[in-house]
């Protein structure tokens, strides 16, 4: 179980009631239908989970879990609804 924030630039120690725990499941199967489940987890602290998300990347024979920055959300645009005048 993850004991520290997965962001290598962060030193936060895991607290049960903060941040977000991600469960990683990789199902390995073959053509005969045999399946094996490999699991792992990573935890992001409250501060880091606001700015990054885990992403799975397959590069050759390596499966990586990367921490990708969450794109900035544009500020909501105020909408003005006008009632038609008759």
Give me the residues that bind Zn ion (CB under 5 A), please. Answer: 5, 7, 10, 12, 45, 48
In whole angstroms, the minimum distance from the beta carbon of 15 to Zn ion comes to 11
- The least CB distance from residue 44 to Zn ion, in Å, is 6
- Cα–Cα distances in Å, from 41 out to 22, 56, 65? 5, 13, 10
Name the residue nearer to Zn ion (CB basis): 26 or 68: 68
Min dist. Cβ of residue 48 to Zn ion (A): 3
Rounded to whole angstroms, the Cα distance separating 57 from 27 reads 15
- For residues 28 and 36, is the Cβ–Cβ distance under 8 A? yes
């Amino acid at each position: 179980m993850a004991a520290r924030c997965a962001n290598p630039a962060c030193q936060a120690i895991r607290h049960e009631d903060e941040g977000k725990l991600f469960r990683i499941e990789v199902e390995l199967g073959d053509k005969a239908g045999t399946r094996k489940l490999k699991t792992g987890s990573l935890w992001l602290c409250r501060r880091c989970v606001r700015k990054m998300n885990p992403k799975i990347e397959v590069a050759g024979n390596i499966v990586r879990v990367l921490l990708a920055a969450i794109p900035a959300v544009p500020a909501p645009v105020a909408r003005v609804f006008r009632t038609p005048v008759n």
